[in-house]
């Protein structure tokens, strides 16, 4: 085949040295970048136009809890690369173990987020403009409202879409685990694990940005 | 499919450590008593740094062919364009 | 039927400049239009298939490409520079000493609030009219444009003024009429079911007439 | 693993699911993963929507030509659309606004875009680059089957209480953000959901096209040997990929405003109406190029072939496509000159907008130069393609007026804009679509279209098209606003009545004459002249395979030796030189079977 390509008188292959699945996942992730750019851009417009709608960091939102959650997601990225490294060596057991760990951490992340949402909602921090009355963390319920409805709307939209991505990731990970349990991946063929990893790390990457913008600034 | 570098095992745990430390630094830095601008700029630099670490090591971008770099970087100018124009709107 | 490519007459100070740019563009695009479409028709007739005709084997020429990249580039740069000055005059540099009024748009009416006899907005002698805009001649009029519900667009065709009214914002628009008379006020942005009925008149008075009119309105209000 | 083996693996993955025995009917025609079948599915569905959109336009034109007069046959519409009066049914303004909105939405998202991207993207990309199928055939199928429910939702919105969305195809907030302002609640929400679903469909398509072009090219098919149609479709896919998510985000935020009560765009709670416009046009301007770039590619293909002459300046054509695509991202503000946006931004957007005239001019001059000293075969695809060029010139030139900010103050939101967009989208894109369908019809169905019917259709369409849209420039210059239910409400617009009536009558003829193309299309399916593999003596890879091509396309992996437009080359005895012809001094290597054929 190489001789054949040489006969054409040009470099051997026009394509990238990347297999289809991986290329497709990267291309898809580019569109995800734009999706979150749209959300972050909206946040910036709204925040600069109405700074009074946004409370100081840590007043309404629970930063320590979310920092802990960020830590969980970073750990889940490590377990994911461990799963990938395992199958690269043909280690089936390691693959399944690390995948399961990633699923557990991902689920924990979503669980913490649900708890966070519930507490915030009980403190009057909701996306609905008319019902918005955030009193801040641990303040008495008759306190003055902190920030404004744009805060609630942007917060829930941005973190909510990220949470949805994590949830979808966990579901896909169950599928990968099921395939792994049937021995679908080998040291030579592990495309499914690799693109799962790409998606998962991307979701982690988005969280790193969102955590900074939404919670800390 | 493989390049030599990846077989040498990328420093996964080291990256994890850096990410962890940076997150801690971010959280403390955010509550320091300095002008908001410094906080924002510092935090964004750290966030981008962390994001780059994830992309380069966990997503293996460091070990991929150059063309994939180009592909992966292609939306970034658009991100910059949208955000700059959007910022302009407010000044 | 009016097939004219002329703009209707304009009656504001910057109207003439806008029209001038329009006519420059009309000439430039007109010439390009005639040349390109003419060539197209000529080629189609001249080189249509006949027995024995063989096309020239020609991949193009860099020199020609560069030429017809640069030519339009210079033209559009010229148009851009010409447009920028007028644009800044229309939208950015509001002249001093303008007569101020507030125009509030809502479905499907224009509410114009005038300063009254003291010439200051926000005082007791302010008065508001619906779908009636009055302005003196030869004096800049600065409109603070507001909206109570959705987007509307404040359109004075004869003054070459168009500015969207955005709820939650106050946008400044200005013009200076050069001739007394009745002109059209319309809404150019789809604003709902009654969009089409959202029109009124702009009456331009001489300064003396305007003062009399304001005095009459103030008297009527009290 | 060597890179060449890699390519074989990629091709095997794409073609691997193909089996040798005949698939059952439902797999072959309904849930097919074959890119050619999906292309045809997209074609039939979007031609249906093209008809729907055209009929909506006819209704709209009735109201404009004969304002508030009873419409013949209007009685069949429900009372919520047409008010019954003793003299007959008269159109209501609510319904008129829905027509404006739905005509725009359906034409842009459900007719032109799927025709260009869904039909030609699917049909041409694998065939022109020498691939057995798309990189992800099942994702491709999903792309089509997401578009169908999106279309059904969009049509269903006519039937719900309150009628279909009535805030224009741009759905400017806050008019679109709360039903209080329009009386349209569910209709607007369906509009949002439908477009969001369609966005996923387009995204799936875009991922596929990009991966396919990058990874699945035949040996020898270098970037600068790719036919311009595929180049344009590739760049278009990049635009879809990066623009659609922005729209999706905006749609979802608007949907939240409508349903759960957030206030992103509602000023009563300090939301920002201009935010919607920024997001919409950051998507919307690339979208405009999504609608024209493939048309340019198709026109280049047809013109070069029918002129029997290499396309003039192939490289600059490719670079112009890329330049237009990039500039498309930094000009969105020119839709917002009068929106209350910072006037400083207005100036910078004006400059970037003017800059787009340059690559567009390059393309036009190159098409003209391709015709120069050619051997023009003026059959119907060529006529459509030439019409494309001539009308695109008009649409491009009228764009210069809007780019100039001071002039735009006057013509913004008038019929001048309506004329401009139709010169680009109807005169431009749709004529190119006619050219493309006619040109590749033999490849799709194995028969040629009826030449005589097509020529009559071309003539009628070209004449009445211009009679409809040319005078709209003049209407706009007289100050007639767009999206206006009854312009006679304005005294100064009343003299425009005769011209509006003239336009309306021409629209009726224009719409009616489209039936000729439909007749030609369906007649030729059964009675058309049988086509050979290469009825147009074309150079592209798609013409080396049978018409229609079999499952898997290429029995042997094609090898490419030259660019796609070597017409009338002295190297050849005939006036064409297929891309697969090896250079004279080098014999062809032994054929390599494709993996799935092995």
- For residue range D94-141, what is the model confidence (pLDDT) as tens digits? 999 999 999 999 999 999 999 999 999 999 999 999 999 999 999 999
Residue C162's domain spans which residues? 99-221
C-alpha–C-alpha distance, residues A208 and A131, integer Å: 30
> What token pair was written down for D114?
């799927």
> Are residues C120 and C80 located together in one domain of the fold?
no
Quote the DSSP letter at residue D573.
S
Asked if D6's CB is within 8 angstroms of B74's CB, the reply is: no
pLDDT at D461: 97
Cα-Cα-Cα-Cα dihedral of D517, D521, D523, D524, to 10°? 130
Asked if B82's CB is within 8 angstroms of D345's CB, the reply is: no
A contacts of B12 (beta carbons < 8 Å): 78, 81-82, 85
pLDDT at D592: 57
Asked if A45's CB is within 8 angstroms of D2's CB, the reply is: no
The per-residue pLDDT for range D241-272, each reduced to its tens digit, is 999 999 999 999 999 999 999 999 999 999 99
Asked if C33's CB is within 8 angstroms of D410's CB, the reply is: no
Q: Nearest residue of A to residue D245 by CA position?
A: A35
> Are residues C126 and C40 located together in one domain of the fold?
no
How far A201 CA sits from the closest chain B CA (Å)? 6
- Name the pLDDT band for B62 (thresholds 50, 70, 90): confident
Asked if A204's CB is within 8 angstroms of B54's CB, the reply is: yes
Partner residue opposite C193 with nearest CB, options D182, D312, D362: D182
Alpha helices in A123-181 (DSSP H): 149-181
Asked if C90's CB is within 8 angstroms of D357's CB, the reply is: no
pLDDT greater than 70 at residue C150: yes
Q: At what angle do helices D293-306 and D228-259 cross, to 10 degrees?
A: 160
How many helical (H) and strand (E) elements, i.e. helices and strands, does chain A have?
6, 0
How far D17 CA sits from the closest chain B CA (Å)? 23
Partner residue opposite B75 with nearest CB, options D242, D274, D333: D242
pLDDT greater than 60 at residue D551: yes
Tell me if D226 sits within 8 A of D129, measured CB to CB: yes
Partner residue opposite D345 with nearest CB, options B78, B82, B88: B88
Subunits close to C (at least 3 CB pairs below 8 A): D
**How crowded is the C-beta side of C179, counted as CA atoms within 13 Å?**
10
C-alpha–C-alpha distance, residues D303 and D378, integer Å: 10
Tell me if C139 sits within 8 A of C176, measured CB to CB: yes
> Are residues C103 and C86 located together in one domain of the fold?
no
pLDDT at A144: 83
How far C46 CA sits from the closest chain D CA (Å)? 8
C-alpha–C-alpha distance, residues D111 and D51, integer Å: 9
Asked if B81's CB is within 8 angstroms of D330's CB, the reply is: yes
Q: What is the mean pLDDT of chain A?
A: 89
Asked if B85's CB is within 8 angstroms of D329's CB, the reply is: no
B contacts of A23 (beta carbons < 8 Å): 68
C-alpha–C-alpha distance, residues D541 and D554, integer Å: 9
Asked if D261's CB is within 8 angstroms of A128's CB, the reply is: yes
User: Which CATH superfamily is D27-527 part of?
Assistant: Cytochrome c oxidase-like, subunit I domain (1.20.210.10)
C-alpha–C-alpha distance, residues A63 and D356, integer Å: 47
Asked if D219's CB is within 8 angstroms of A8's CB, the reply is: yes
Tell me if A151 sits within 8 A of A134, measured CB to CB: yes
C-alpha–C-alpha distance, residues D218 and D128, integer Å: 9
Q: A129-138, A150-159, D278-287, D460-469: which range is least confident on average?
A: A129-138
List C-alpha distances in Å: C159 to A17, C4, C27, C178.
Answer: 62, 19, 23, 9
Question: Tell me, what CATH number does C46's domain have?
Answer: 1.10.287.90
pLDDT greater than 80 at residue D86: yes
Q: Nearest residue of D to residue B67 by CA position?
A: D214
pLDDT greater than 90 at residue B3: no
Instruction: Determine contact: D219 vs chain A, CB below 8 A.
Output: yes
pLDDT at B7: 52
Tell me if C222 sits within 8 A of C207, measured CB to CB: no
D contacts of B82 (beta carbons < 8 Å): 246, 282
Residue with tokens 């080359």: D569
Q: Which is nearest to D475 in space by CA: D460, D457, D493, D454? A: D493
Q: Nearest residue of A to residue B83 by CA position?
A: A41
> Are residues C61 and C121 located together in one domain of the fold?
no
Asked if B12's CB is within 8 angstroms of A44's CB, the reply is: no
pLDDT greater than 70 at residue C169: yes
Q: Nearest residue of D to residue A129 by CA position?
A: D262
List C-alpha distances in Å: A41 to A32, D134, D235, D276, D505.
Answer: 14, 34, 24, 11, 46
Residues in chain C: 222
Q: What is the mean pLDDT of chain D?
A: 91
Query: Which strands form C109-114's sheet, in the order they lie side by side?
Result: C127-130, C109-114, C99-106, C141-147, C171-175
Burial D234-266 (b: 16+ CB within 10 A, else e): bbbbbbbbbbbbbbbbbbbbbbbbbeebbbbbb
pLDDT at B63: 85
C-alpha–C-alpha distance, residues A94 and B32, integer Å: 43
Q: Which of residues 124-143 of A touch B (CB under 8 A)?
A: none
Partner residue opposite A148 with nearest CB, options D135, D270, D560: D270
B contacts of D1 (beta carbons < 8 Å): 1
pLDDT at D556: 87
Name which residue leads in pLDDT, B82 or C38: C38
First to last CA, chain A: 57
Residue ending a domain, among C91, C118, C146, is C91
Quote the DSSP letter at residue A176.
H
Question: Does residue B34 sit within a domain?
Answer: yes
C-alpha–C-alpha distance, residues D373 and C55, integer Å: 6
- What percent of chain D lies above the pLDDT cut of 70? 94
How many beta-carbon contacts under 8 Å exist across B and D? 25
Residue B9's domain spans which residues? 4-66
C-alpha–C-alpha distance, residues D317 and D311, integer Å: 9
Instruction: Determine contact: C69 vs chain D, CB below 8 A.
Output: yes
> Are residues C53 and C74 located together in one domain of the fold?
yes
pLDDT at D596: 42
Mean pLDDT of D66-89: 88
- Name the pLDDT band for A10 (thresholds 50, 70, 90): very low
Question: Does residue B89 sit within a domain?
Answer: no
The per-residue pLDDT for range D482-541, each reduced to its tens digit, is 999 999 999 999 999 999 999 999 999 999 999 999 999 999 999 999 999 999 999 999
Q: At what angle do helices B75-88 and D273-290 cross, to 10 degrees?
A: 140
D contacts of A131 (beta carbons < 8 Å): 261
pLDDT greater than 60 at residue B4: no
Asked if D346's CB is within 8 angstroms of C87's CB, the reply is: yes
Burial D33-70 (b: 16+ CB within 10 A, else e): bbbbbbbbbbbebbbebbbbbbebbbbbbbbbbbbbeb
Asked if A67's CB is within 8 angstroms of B43's CB, the reply is: no
pLDDT at D64: 95
Mean pLDDT of D305-329: 94
DSSP D40-99: HHHHHHHHHHHHHHHHHHHHHHHHHHSTTPPBTTGGGS-TTTEEEETTEEEE-HHHHHHH
Tell me if D483 sits within 8 A of D100, measured CB to CB: yes
Asked if B90's CB is within 8 angstroms of A48's CB, the reply is: yes
pLDDT greater than 50 at residue C214: yes
| Segments of C166-199 assigned E as strands | 171-175, 181-187
C-alpha–C-alpha distance, residues C209 and C136, integer Å: 8
B contacts of D329 (beta carbons < 8 Å): 77-78, 81
D contacts of C33 (beta carbons < 8 Å): 393-394, 397
- The CA radius of gyration of chain D, in Å to the nearest whole number, is 24
Pairing verdict, β C132-136 and C200-205: parallel
The per-residue pLDDT for range D57-70, each reduced to its tens digit, is 999 999 999 998 99
Mutation target for D interface from C36, C109, C148: give the one with most D CBs within 10 A.
Answer: C36
pLDDT greater than 90 at residue C58: no
D contacts of C196 (beta carbons < 8 Å): 93, 484-487, 489
Q: Give, for C208, the enclosing helix (H) or strand (E).
A: helix C207-221
Residue ending a domain, among C40, C65, C91, is C91
Asked if A67's CB is within 8 angstroms of B51's CB, the reply is: no
pLDDT at D515: 95
> D530: which strand partners?
D447
Q: Which of residues 280-339 of D touch A (CB under 8 A)?
A: 282
Q: Which is nearest to D111 in space by CA: D202, D48, D60? A: D48
Residue ending a domain, among C61, C91, C121, is C91
Q: Which is nearest to D154 in space by CA: D103, D202, D118, D94? A: D103
> Are residues C110 and C214 located together in one domain of the fold?
yes
Q: Which of residues 123-142 of D touch A (CB under 8 A)?
A: 135-136, 139
Residue C6: how many CB atoms within 10 A of its CB? 13
Asked if D262's CB is within 8 angstroms of A153's CB, the reply is: yes
Q: Which is nearest to C32 in space by CA: D362, D397, D351, D366? A: D397
Q: At what angle do helices D431-445 and D122-129 cross, to 10 degrees?
A: 60
Tell me if D349 sits within 8 A of D337, measured CB to CB: yes
Residues in chain B: 91
Which SS3 state, helix, strand or coil, does residue B49 take?
helix
C-alpha–C-alpha distance, residues B5 and B13, integer Å: 16
pLDDT greater than 90 at residue D333: no
A contacts of D2 (beta carbons < 8 Å): 1-2, 12
Instruction: For CATH 1.20.210.10, list the domain ranges present in chain D.
Output: 27-527
How many beta-carbon contacts under 8 Å exist across A and B? 117
Instruction: Determine contact: C33 vs chain D, CB below 8 A.
Output: yes
D contacts of A31 (beta carbons < 8 Å): 203, 206-207, 241-242, 244-245
pLDDT at B90: 60
Asked if A129's CB is within 8 angstroms of D263's CB, the reply is: yes
Tell me if A87 sits within 8 A of A193, measured CB to CB: yes
> Is it the case that chain C and chain B have 3 or more CB pairs lying under 8 Å apart?
no
The per-residue pLDDT for range A65-81, each reduced to its tens digit, is 999 999 999 999 999 99
Asked if B51's CB is within 8 angstroms of A63's CB, the reply is: no
Question: Does residue B61 sit within a domain?
Answer: yes
The per-residue pLDDT for range D377-405, each reduced to its tens digit, is 999 999 999 999 999 999 999 999 999 99
Q: Which is nearest to D359 in space by CA: C61, C59, C37, C69? A: C69
Asked if D9's CB is within 8 angstroms of A1's CB, the reply is: no
> How distant is the alpha carbon of residue D546 from its chain centre?
27
Q: Nearest residue of C to residue D396 by CA position?
A: C29
In CATH terms, A17-216 corresponds, of 1.20.120.80, 1.10.3720.10, 3.40.50.150, 1.20.1260.10, to: 1.20.120.80
pLDDT greater than 60 at residue C127: yes
Tell me if C145 sits within 8 A of C170, measured CB to CB: yes
Partner residue opposite A26 with nearest CB, options B58, B71, B76: B71
């Amino acid at each position: 085949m190489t001789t054949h390509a040489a006969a054409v008188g040009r470099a051997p292959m026009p394509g990238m040295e990347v297999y289809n699945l991986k290329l497709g996942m990267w291309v898809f992730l580019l569109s995800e970048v734009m999706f979150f750019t749209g959300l972050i851009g909206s946040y910036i417009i709204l925040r600069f136009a109405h700074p009074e709608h946004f409370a100081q960091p840590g007043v309404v939102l629970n930063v320590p809890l979310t920092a802990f959650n960020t830590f969980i997601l970073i750990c889940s990225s490590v377990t994911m690369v461990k799963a990938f490294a395992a199958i690269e060596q043909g280690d089936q057991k390691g693959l399944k173990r690390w995948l399961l760990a990633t699923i557990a951490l991902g689920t924990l992340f979503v669980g913490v987020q649900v708890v966070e949402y519930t507490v915030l909602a009980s403190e009057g921090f909701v996306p609905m403009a008319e019902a918005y009355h955030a009193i801040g963390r641990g303040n008495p319920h008759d306190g003055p409202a902190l920030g404004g409805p744009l805060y609630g709307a942007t917060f829930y939209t941005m973190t909510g879409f990220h949470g949805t991505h994590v949830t979808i990731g966990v579901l896909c990970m169950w599928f990968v685990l099921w395939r792994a349990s049937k021995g679908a991946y080998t040291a030579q063929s592990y495309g499914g694990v690799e693109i799962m990893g790409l998606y998962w790390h991307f979701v982690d990457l988005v969280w790193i940005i969102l955590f900074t913008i939404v919670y800390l600034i | 499919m493989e390049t030599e570098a990846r077989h040498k095992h990328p420093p996964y745990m080291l990256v994890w450590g850096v990410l962890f430390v940076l997150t801690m630094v971010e959280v403390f830095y955010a509550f320091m008593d300095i002008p908001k601008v410094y906080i924002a700029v510092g935090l964004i630099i750290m966030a981008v740094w962390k994001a780059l670490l994830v992309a380069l090591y966990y997503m293996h971008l460091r070990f991929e062919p150059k063309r994939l770099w180009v592909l992966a970087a292609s939306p970034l100018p658009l991100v910059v364009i949208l955000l700059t124009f959007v910022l302009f709107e407010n000044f | 039927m009016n097939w004219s490519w002329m703009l209707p007459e304009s009656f504001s100070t910057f109207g003439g400049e806008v029209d001038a740019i329009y006519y420059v563009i009309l000439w430039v695009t007109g010439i390009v239009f005639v040349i390109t479409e003419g060539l197209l028709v000529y080629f189609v007739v001249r080189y249509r298939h006949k027995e024995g005709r063989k096309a020239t084997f020609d991949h193009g020429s860099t020199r020609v490409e560069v030429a017809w990249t640069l030519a339009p580039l210079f033209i559009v740069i010229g148009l851009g520079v010409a447009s920028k000055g007028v644009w800044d005059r229309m939208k950015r540099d509001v002249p001093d000493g303008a007569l101020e009024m507030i125009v509030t748009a809502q479905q499907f009416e224009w509410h114009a609030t005038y300063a009254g006899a003291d010439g200051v907005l926000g005082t007791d002698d302010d008065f508001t009219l619906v779908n009636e805009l009055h302005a003196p001649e030869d004096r800049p009029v600065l409109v603070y444009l507001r909206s109570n519900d959705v987007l509307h667009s404040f359109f004075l065709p004869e003054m070459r003024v168009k500015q969207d009214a955005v709820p939650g914002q106050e946008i400044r628009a200005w013009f200076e009429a050069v001739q007394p008379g009745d002109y059209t006020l319309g809404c150019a942005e789809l604003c709902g079911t009654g969009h089409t009925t959202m029109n009124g008149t702009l009456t331009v008075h001489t300064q003396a007439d305007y003062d009399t009119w304001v005095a009459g309105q103030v008297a009527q209000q009290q | 693993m060597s890179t060449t083996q890699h390519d074989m693996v990629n091709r095997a993955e794409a073609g691997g699911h193909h089996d040798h025995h005949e698939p059952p009917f439902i797999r072959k025609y309904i849930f097919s993963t074959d890119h050619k079948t999906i292309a045809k599915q997209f074609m039939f569905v979007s031609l249906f929507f093209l008809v729907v959109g055209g009929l909506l336009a006819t209704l709209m034109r009735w109201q404009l030509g004969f304002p508030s007069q009873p419409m013949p046959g209007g009685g069949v519409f429900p009372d919520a659309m047409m008010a019954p009066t003793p003299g007959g049914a008269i159109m209501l303004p609510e319904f008129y606004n829905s027509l404006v909105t739905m005509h725009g939405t359906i034409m842009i998202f459900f007719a032109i875009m799927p025709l260009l991207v869904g039909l030609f993207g699917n049909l041409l990309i694998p065939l022109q680059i020498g691939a057995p199928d798309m990189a992800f055939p099942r994702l491709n199928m999903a792309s089509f089957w997401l578009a169908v429910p999106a279309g059904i939702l969009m049509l269903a919105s006519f039937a719900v209480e309150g009628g279909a969305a009535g805030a224009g195809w741009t759905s400017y907030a806050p008019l679109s953000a709360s039903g209080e302002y329009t009386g349209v609640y569910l209709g607007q929400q369906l509009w949002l959901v439908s477009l969001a679903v369609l966005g996923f469909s387009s995204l799936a398509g875009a991922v596929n096209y990009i991966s396919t072009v990058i990874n699945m090219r035949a040996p020898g098919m270098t970037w600068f040997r790719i036919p311009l149609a595929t180049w344009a479709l590739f760049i278009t896919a990049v635009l879809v990929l990066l623009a659609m998510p922005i729209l999706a985000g905006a749609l979802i935020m608007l949907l939240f405003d409508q349903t759960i009560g957030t206030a992103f765009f509602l000023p009563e709670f300090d939301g920002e109406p201009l935010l919607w416009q920024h997001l919409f046009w950051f998507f919307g301007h690339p979208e405009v190029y999504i609608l024209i770039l493939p048309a340019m590619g198709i026109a280049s293909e047809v013109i070069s072939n029918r002129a029997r002459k290499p396309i003039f300046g192939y490289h600059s054509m490719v670079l112009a496509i890329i330049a237009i695509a990039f500039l498309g991202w930094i000009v969105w503000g020119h839709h917002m000159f009068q929106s209350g946006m910072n006037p400083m931004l207005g100036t910078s957007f004006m400059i970037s907008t003017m800059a787009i005239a340059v690559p567009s001019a390059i393309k036009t001059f190159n098409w003209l130069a391709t015709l120069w000293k050619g051997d023009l075969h003026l059959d119907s695809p060529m006529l459509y393609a030439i019409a494309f060029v001539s009308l695109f010139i008009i649409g491009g030139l009228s764009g210069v007026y809007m780019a100039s900010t001071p002039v735009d103050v006057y013509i913004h939101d008038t019929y001048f804009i309506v004329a401009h967009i139709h010169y680009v989208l109807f005169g431009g894109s749709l004529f190119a679509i006619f050219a493309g369908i006619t040109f590749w019809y033999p490849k799709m169905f194995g028969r040629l279209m009826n030449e005589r019917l097509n020529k009559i259709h071309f003539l009628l369409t070209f004449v009445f098209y211009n009679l409809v849209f040319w005078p709209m420039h003049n209407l706009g210059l007289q100050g007639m606003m767009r999206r206006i239910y009854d312009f006679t409400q304005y005294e100064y617009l009343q003299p425009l009545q005769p011209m509006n009536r003239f336009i309306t009558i021409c629209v009726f003829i224009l719409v009616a004459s489209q039936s000729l193309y439909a007749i030609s299309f369906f007649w030729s399916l059964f009675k058309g002249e049988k086509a050979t593999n290469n009825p147009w003596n074309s150079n592209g890879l798609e013409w080396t395979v049978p018409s229609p091509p079999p499952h898997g396309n290429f029995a042997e992996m094609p090898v490419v030796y030259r660019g796609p437009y070597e017409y009338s080359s002295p190297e050849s005895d005939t006036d064409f030189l297929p891309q697969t012809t090896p250079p004279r001094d080098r014999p062809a290597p032994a054929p390599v079977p494709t993996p799935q054929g092995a």
